[in-house]
Amino acid sequence: MPKGKYGAEAQEKAYQLFKIQQLPFDMVIKKMREEYPTFSKGTLTKWRKVLAWDDRYGNFCKDLAAINDKELVKKIKPIVYAIESIREEVYDKLIDCLKKKDIVTEKNFGYVLAAFVRMGELEYKMKGGRQSLPPVKQVVNVILMALEKNPVVGPIIAANKSQIEDAIFEEIGS
């Protein structure tokens, strides 16, 4: 630290005013002169450079962001768990619907599948872009089960289901 007529306490106060409170340069000088009457613009300029306030402030911002991220994760975890639970419940009901031939129509299946996919997307976003494989596998499984209901392609899908799944996962990189 530079030596002079002001100590570490004055330097810290100036740093807090200028970098943390983001006061304008002239306002910092004015506030510092309340306690240190001979404080000058040159001193503030010198401290800013010699004490590497910009670097220190950058580190402060990174540390603050890390703390905020941890707090956000604490708040989001219960929501993510709820979404996972609801997605699992919807998946189970969707599978039940697909097993009952008289319930599933193209219209209602499309709506339920779209809602299921949206929940997977929401879960993906809330996990910060990290997706676990089960939701992806569930979506593929549901789509294949729906296609098996089709009288034209159903028998082909049923006969080749594992190869089709493997090809899909290879294509999407899961």
The 10s digit of each residue's pLDDT in 66-123 is: 888 788 778 877 877 887 787 778 777 777 777 776 565 666 666 767 777 777 777 7
pLDDT tier at 154, thresholds 50, 70, 90: confident
Considering only CA atoms, give the Rg of the chain: 30
**In contact, 53 and 47? CB cutoff 8 Å:** yes
Q: Residue 109: name the closest of 156, 143, 152 by CA.
A: 143
Place of tokens 């004015």: 30
* CA trace torsion 108, 113, 114, 117 (10° rounding): 170
Determine what percent of the chain falls in helix, strand and coil, rounding each to the nearest 5: 80, 0, 20
pLDDT at position 173 over 70? no
pLDDT tier at 37, thresholds 50, 70, 90: very high
State the alpha helices, DSSP H only, in 51-132. Answer: 53-99, 106-126
DSSP 143: H
pLDDT tier at 1, thresholds 50, 70, 90: very low
